[in-house]
Structures are given as structure tokens and as C-alpha cells.
Structure 1
Amino acid sequence: MSRWKALPAELDPRVRQLVVRLRRLKDHSGLSMRQVAARTGYSPKSWERYLGGRSLPPRDAVEAMARIGGDDPTRLLALHEVAAEAWTDGRDRLASAPAPAPAPAPAPAPETTAAEPETGPEALSAQTENTRFTRRSLRIALVAGAVALVLAVSSAVLLAIRLEGGDSKAAADPRVPSTAAGVSASQPEPPYTCHLKQLDGRWYAGNSSTQDAVLGVRDGGPEVAEAQCLMRRAGISPGGIDGIFGPLTQQAVKEVQQRAGLVVDGVIGPHTWKALRR
């Protein structure tokens, strides 16, 4: 069973969900990276980039992995389409960042009547060096400002996507209390509670009925609170029931996965949800 490296923290959640599913299919197949490359037609180095979140796999590679892992290619290709849109949006935001403005020309030296300015080789060399230093400093400052602006915009977009996704799931879920989706943005959210009940052989805590949401560190919302309640029911402490996927929750998820014989990656997916609800 593979021990995967953690995915980049800045990876879009939609791309993260696709990569996690591909990793599980690869583990389920029991094939090495070279064997996967031989069956899919893509090199081992390419698959290392795809499964490491450093490059988006092509559609043909995703479909080939679905056949190897015995998964439904239609659903996996739908995830790839969503991930490709997120990947393109991220590149477009970087490409549309404002270009640094040209550095202004150095101001002319003030005239003086007390003495004639120096015109020898040493004076000209000093003036040239000062001009280069000024232009280089301005370029560095402008580039740093542009990078900071791009990072701020990206963070705001990701936060808006997560908040919108959490609200729509809570509103559509019949098992989630109505107050979870109707709290105004100007009011503090009530603390999450655990109302455990068993339905059709599965346990629910009243925060979410999801079976396949992919959750990792820095995610939040009722789905995380649901998982925290179910881990506490199993005798594993995730910390507080606060709906925040932090280090304590991640450690508890790994313990659940280890008990169930799953891939221990600290990420909640369909298999981990199945282990939590049984």
C-alpha cells in the first residue's frame, strides 16, 4: 500500500478531489508506477507529476486509470472536467496579473554654481551604478506587489467557493437542521452538536448525510463537524466539534483509516465515510 506525500496546500479543492481518487485507484490496482505507465501509455515521471498534484493529467490518462482500477470512467471524467476548469481558472488569474510599470528615468542632477561637476571616468561610473541600483529596486518592489495581489485574489476566490459549496449542501440535505443553512452572514454561527442516530445500518450525527465528500486540512463546515461527531462516537477524539479540519482532526482520521485497513493519508473520502458510518 503506497504512502503518498501530502498534496500542495495551495491546490484547488476540485483538483485535489480528482488526484485523491486517482491515487486510490492506483493503490487498488496493486500496480507499480512502471506497470501503470506501461498500461496507460504515459511515463512514470508523468504519473508522478499527476499524482503529486503538480500537473493536471490528460483526459485519456484519467480514463485509462479508471479502467485499471475498475472504476466508472464517466464519473471520473466528470471530476476531471471540473478539475480542468479549476486548473485553467488558476492559470488565467496568474496570466491576467498587472504587468510591472516601467521604472521612471532618474532625475537629473541639480545644477551648482559653487563648483564645476565632476566629469571624469570615476564620476560617470558612480552615476551609472546608482541609476542601475534605483531601477533594480523599483522592479523588485513592483513585482512583489503584483505577486501579493495575485495571492490575495486567489485566496478570496477559494474562500468564496468553499463557503458557497458548504451553504448549498446544507440547504439541500434533509437530515441537516434548517438552522444550519439559514444563519445570516452577520450573525455568529451556532456551535455544532452531535445528535447521533442509526438509519439503514449507518450512523448520522445530524450535521450532514454526505457519503463521498472529500475533506482535508483547512476545510471546514457541517461535513467536517459530521465526521468529528462520528469519530468521537468511535472512541477517537478529533478535538472539539467545531467544523474545522485541523491537525487534531487529521490525526483522528488517520487512526480511523488505520483501524479500517485503508490508505492512511489523513483525507476523508468515500471509503473513510463508509468506515465512519458503519
Structure 2
Amino acid sequence: MVSQHGTCEKWKRIMPRWKALPEALAPSVHELFLRLRQLKDARELSLAQIAAKTGYSTSSWERYLAGRSLPPRQAVEAFARAYSADPDRLLALHEVAADAWARAAVPEQRTATPPGAPADPPAPQRPRRGRRVRIAVVAGALVMSVAAVLLAVRPWHDSDPAAPPSYVCRISRTDGLWYAGLSRTRTDLVQQGMAGAEVAEIQCLLKRAGFPPGDVDGIYGDLTQRAVRRLQTKHHLSVDGVVGPHTWEALRG
């Protein structure tokens, strides 16, 4: 019979310590990379195994999983189908992430004037007030783009499409396990920076266990991470702030 300590050590070997993703990534791009990392850890895959299954090189997957390069749609689809993941969900994440990635890369993709081509005449100087107006318009467009990305990745269930999701804890006990009515998973990896019903389920169960994470808003922020760490300390788990199978067991037990 494997002890709880031995099982924890095995899980830590399965799940490496990932380097933080670049801070400049758009929310949708950040979520895609996190999901790919989680699937790699959950399947106990090496980069060489992923390369053999998908047809994309080990060095390519190293760049993708480090957040330095966006994997093409075909690579994501091959990864999902090779390891029995949900391709529709991954491809939906990729579609939104690719759009955000392309918008962020536009300034770098402007080509120089070909040799011999007449140079464009210098743009007339505009009053500083006009420049401030343009900046305000661009900033407003970026805010709207980010809102559209979040709506596409995590569609709200409210009747108002612009309203944030509303989560209600409905605590119940079934077969000796606690549930909050938002997710029934006992294995999904959930960590800081993620959002959705699984995070809200964690927040409800943390409140029930006496480790308040703040508002039940479905966003895995600093307060939720600190509450998870306190729970892990109490149950003698690896204190990493990541909710995996053993932390789910502590929450539901």
C-alpha cells in the first residue's frame, strides 16, 4: 500500500517546476500555455514523446511551452488528439490566443521600404491634443479587445453578455465528499492566473474548510493562493499553491 507521503513525492516528480510565463502575454495566450503545460504534466510526457506524437520538433515544443512562441493550430490539434484531450476546447483557446498574439506582434511585422522605392513623405506634425485623442482611441480599442478575448474564452452564463460570471456556493456532501455545485473534478490542475468554475469550486470549499479566499469570483488570485497554501500546510501536503489531486482530496474530504 502506497503511503500518502510516497504518493505526494510521485506527484511532485510528475509535475516539474515550470518557469513563469512572460508577463507581457495577453490573458488568452497565457491560458493556452497553462493548459498545454497541465496536459503535459498530467500525461507524464517528455518533450521527445510529444515531438514523436505530433511531428513538431523537441526544440519547437520547448519554445511553445516556455511561452516564447505560439504553436500553430496543427500542432495543438495533433497534441490533443494524440493524448486524448478535448481538441475542441484547446482549438477554441488557440483561436482566441492566435488573434491576441497577432495583434501584439503587429508593430514588429511592419516591413521596411524596399530598396529603390520612393520614400513616403514625412507625416505632417499634428497638434499634441490630436495625438492624445488618438492614444485614447487606441487604448479604448485595446480594452474592448481584451474584454472580447475574455468573453470568448470564458463565456458568461448570465443573460447580460457583458456581465461577469456569478457563482453561488451550494455546499453538499455526497458519498463522503464535499461539493459546491460548480465542478465535480477531483484531478484537474488549477493554479494562480486561471479563472472559471473550477476556481470558484475551490473557493467555496476553502470557505467551508475555514480558509476564506475572499470573494467567490472564479479568479485564482493572491488571496485564493494563500488560502490554498494554508490548507496544504494543515494537511501536510506540498505547499506550492497549486490544486492537484491531493489538494482536491483535502478539499473534498
Would the TM-score normalized by the shorter structure come out above 0.5?
Answer: yes
Separation in 1, partners of 2:125, 2:216: 56
The TM-score, its normalising length taken from structure 2, stands at 0.58
Specify the code of the residue in structure 2 equivalent to 1:209.
S
CA distance in 1, matches of 2:23, 2:249: 26
**TM-score, with structure 1 as normaliser:** 0.54
SS at match of 2:98: helix
**After superposition, what is the alpha-carbon deviation per residue over 1:183-216, rounded to whole angstroms, capped at 9, x for unaligned?**
9x99xx99x775521124432235x235369674
In the TM superposition, what are the counterparts of 1:29-48 in structure 2 within 5 Å?
A: 29-33=43-47, 36-37=50-51, 40-48=54-62
Q: Secondary structure at the match of 1:198?
A: strand
Could you tell me how far apart the structure 1 residues matched to 2:91 and 2:237 are? Answer: 31
SS at match of 1:56: coil
Report the counterpart of residue 232 of structure 1 in structure 2: 207
- SS of residue paired to 1:203: strand
Q: Residue 103 of structure 1 aligns with which residue?
A: 123
Q: CA–CA distance in 2 between the matches of 1:218 and 1:27?
A: 16
Unaligned runs of 5+ residues in structure 2 are 1-12, 111-121
The whole-number CA distance in structure 2 between the counterparts of 1:245 and 1:253 is 10
The aligned counterpart of 1:217 is 193
Match of 1:245 in 2: 220
Shift of 1:247: 0.5
Corresponding letter in the other structure for 1:22: L
1:23 aligns with 37
Contact 2:237 2:246 survives alignment (8 Å): no
Distance 1:21 1:223, change over 3 A: closer
Report the Cα offset of residue 24 of structure 1. 2.9
Q: Alpha-carbon deviations, 1:96-152, whole Å to 9, x = none?
A: 99x9xx63169xxxxxxxxxxxxxxxxxxxxxxxxxxx9xx99x9799667635532
Q: How many residues align?
A: 221
CA shift digits 1:25-71 (9 cap, x unpaired): 33345454456446654334322221133433235544554577xx3
Could you say if the C-alpha distance between residues 64 and 82 of structure 1 is closer, same or farther in structure 2, counting changes exceeding 3 Å?
Answer: closer
Could you tell me the percent identity over the aligned residues?
45
Query: What letter corresponds to residue 65 of structure 2 in structure 1?
Result: L
Task: Return 47-56 or 145-154, whichever deviates more.
Answer: 145-154
Report deviation, 1:230: 0.8
Do the aligned residues in 1 keep the contact of 2:73 with 2:94 (CA within 8 Å)?
A: no
Instruction: Give RMSD over aligned pairs.
Output: 5.0
Letter in 1 for 2:84: D
Of the three residues 82, 86, 89, the one matched with 1:79 is 89
Distance (Å, rounded) in 2 between the aligned partners of 1:241 and 1:216: 15
Unaligned stretches of 5+ residues in structure 1: 107-133, 169-180
